[in-house]
Amino acid sequence: MLQYIARRVLMMIPTIIVVSIISFVIIQLPPGDWLTTYVANLEAEGELVEEDTLAALRSRYGLGQPIHVQYLKWVRGLLRGDFGYSFAWNAPVANLIWDRLLLTVVMSVSTLFVTWIIAFPVGIYSAVRKYSIVDYVVTALGFLGMAVPNFLLALVLMVIAFAWFNQSVGGLFSPDFIDAPWNWARVWDLIKHLWIPVAILGTSGTAGLIRVMRANLLDELNKPYVVTARAKGLRESRLLLRYPVRVALNPFISTIGWTLPALVSGSTVTATVLNLPSTGPILLQALTSQDMYLAGSFILMLSILTVIGTLISDILLAWLDPRIRFG
């Protein structure tokens, strides 16, 4: 097991390097170097830029030097926790991203769990009572859930809340708590606001997972060992949960690998519509205003987080299913 984990962690390293290169390319993609744009913007506002500051920034980020030198300088900064400078916010990127990343992680992970809690019993029921009314309803809802884009759901929910309850559903905190330090009251406030984005994000994932669970369980239900257990006189509910469901559970763990990137993707769009204080809106804003260090850092960190999430799911899966460990 330890060997497997070590191998898996080693495999992660090249992935993270490639992710960092891609993020760097995204930072570099807009035409011209950002410093020139920055100076032009400042001068347009009538502010003077001191030559010294400019020279310091230029050498700090290696501007004007070959591209690989710039990349290495950027990576060296990252390792020290220096993510660069956000010109739109006039603050170091490191000060801006952690809170928002944390909220994104909280949102994605809680969605993941909610998805499981709903998909698990519904999937089992749908498989055991195949072609029942509930099964048809679930299948229909599943297809709908996959076809409706997240942002549409967010918009509709917001309009309903606005029209009928006359309240705004945007944000993750009540006004009193927006700038408050972290404490239990603030966490509780977060939980009270979290359910809307979680419901929006969870729809398509739940729909997909129910389908997977149903299909897997249907495959298992026809296997001889189920018949044997039934012939032995095992109670149906016990039989079900003990054997086939356990085998069919694998997708819950193994799909984290692609559920997590999808959740992070989805939360970016949803958060933008709902204007949540997570990564979505600020990433969009950074991209449209070409605040590239901020945007690049977000893309990098989101990718690294999903890579770590995938790693955790792989380890869990190997722990649950020895066939993978030794395969």
Partner 1 sequence: MSTSLNREPTDAAVSMTALAGSAGEEERIYVATQWQLIWWRFRRHKVAMIGGVVTVLMYLVAIIAEFLAPFPVEAYSAKYLYAPPQRLYLFDREDGLRLNPHVFGYTSTVDAIAFRRTFEVDESQKIPIRFFVQGEPYKLLGLIPGTVRLFGPVDKTQPMFLLGADRIGHDVLSRIIYGTRISMSIGLVGVIISLTLGILLGGISGYYGGRADAIIQRIIEFIRSIPTIPLWMGLGAALPVDWPPLRIYFGITVILSLVGWTGLARVVRGRFLSLREEDFVMAAQLYGAGEMRIILRHMLPSFMSHIIASITLAIPRMILAETSLSFLGLGLRPPIVSWGVLLKESQNVRAVYSAPWLLTPALAVVFAVLAFNFLGDGLRDAADPYSR
Secondary structure class of 285 (helix, strand, coil): helix
Residues in CB range of 213: below 8 A, 6 or more apart: 119, 120, 123, 124, 126, 127, 248, 251, 252
Residue number with CB closer to partner 1 (91 or 156) = 156
In the complex, the smallest distance separating the C-beta of residue 180 from partner 1, rounded to whole angstroms, is: 26
Q: Rounded distance, CA 83 to CA 298, Å?
A: 10
Q: What is the spatial distance between Cα 123 and Cα 129, in angstroms, rounded to a whole number? A: 10
If the CB atoms of residues 29 and 117 are measured against partner 1, the closer one turns out to be 29
Distance CA 240, CA 217 (A): 10
Q: Which of 304, 309, 314, 310 is nearest to 17 (CA)?
A: 304
Q: How far is the CB of 112 from partner 1 (least distance, A)?
A: 14
For the CB of residue 307, give the shortest distance to partner 1 in the complex, in Å: 5
Q: How far is the CB of 185 from partner 1 (least distance, A)?
A: 28
Would you say 257 or 277 has its CB closer to partner 1? 257
Are the CB atoms for 213 and 123 separated by under 8 Å? yes
Please name every residue paired with 85 in a beta bridge, in sequence order, or none if there are none: 92
Candidates 200, 171, 162; CA nearest to 274 is 171
Q: How far is the CB of 261 from partner 1 (least distance, A)?
A: 4
Cα 178 to the center of its chain, rounded Å: 22
Which residue lies nearer to partner 1 by CB, 149 or 322? Answer: 149
Shortest Å, Cβ 162 to partner 1: 6
Site for partner 1, rule CB under 8 A = 14-15, 18-19, 22-23, 26, 29-31, 143-144, 146-152, 155-156, 158-159, 162-163, 168, 257-258, 261-262, 264-266, 268-269, 272-273, 279, 283-284, 287-288, 290, 295-296, 298-299, 302-303, 306-307, 310
What is the DSSP track for 101-151? HHHHHHHHHHHHHHHHHHHHHHHHHHHHTTTSHHHHHHHHHHHHHHHS-HH
Closest approach of Cβ 38 to partner 1, in Å? 17
By beta-carbon proximity to partner 1, the closer residue of 59 and 168 is 168
Between residues 249 and 284, which has the closer beta carbon with respect to partner 1? 284
CB of 172 to partner 1, least distance (A): 17
Other Cβ atoms less than 10 A from the Cβ of 171: the count is 15
d(CA 173, CA 166): 17
Cα-based distances in Å from 20 to 127, 246, 304, 309: 43, 38, 9, 17
Q: Based on CB atoms, which residue is closest to partner 1, 53 or 288? A: 288
Nearest partner of 292 among 17, 24, 19, judged by Cα: 24
Nearer to partner 1 (CB atom), residue 234 or residue 304: 304
Query: What DSSP designation does 180 have?
Result: P
Question: Is residue 190 within 8 Å of residue 106, measured between CB atoms?
Answer: yes
Which of residues 234 and 284 has its CB atom nearest to partner 1 in the complex? Answer: 284
State the nearest-atom distance from the C-beta of 265 to partner 1, in Å.
4
What backbone torsions phi and psi does residue 91 show, to the nearest 5 degrees? -155, 155
